[in-house]
Amino acid sequence: MSEMIERVARALCRQYELDDGFSPEQADRAAAGDMHRNFIKAARATIEAMREPTDEMLAAGCAGDQEGSFSKSRMDWQAMIDEALK
C-alpha cells in the first residue's frame, strides 16, 4: 500500500470518527490504529476519482509555462496519481 493511500485512509477514518461523536484525541487514536479494509478501499477510490484532472487543474499546472501544455500537465498529473495508487 502506498504512503498516499495510507494518508487518505487515516484522514477518512479520523473524519468518520469525529462525525460519529469521538473527541479529536479519540479520533486520532482510531486513525493511528489498524485501519479497516473499508477505509483503504475508500481511500483508493477517492484517489482514483482524482486521476482525470479538471480544466482548472490543468491550467494551474501550466502556470508560468510559456507553452501552456495541457497534455503534459495531464500526463504529469496522471503519473503522480498512478504512483500514489501503487
pLDDT digits (tens, 9 = 90+) for 9-59: 999 999 999 999 999 998 888 888 776 888 999 999 999 999 999 988 888
How does 19-42 read in b/e, with b if 16+ C-beta sit within 10 Å?
eeebeeeebbebbeeebeeebbeb
Is it the case that residue 68 has pLDDT exceeding 80? Answer: no
- Taking each helix axis as running N to C, give the angle between helix 24-32 and helix 3-19, from 0 to 180 degrees, rounded to the nearest 10: 150
If one counts the domains in the chain, the total is 2
Angle (deg, nearest 10), helices 37-49 and 3-19: 110
CA 24 to chain centre: 21
When pLDDT is cut at 50, 70 and 90, the band that residue 65 belongs to is low
Do both 57 and 20 map to the same domain?
Answer: no
Range of the domain at 20: 1-49
From first CA to last CA, the distance across the chain in angstroms is: 7
Are both 16 and 45 inside the same structural domain? yes
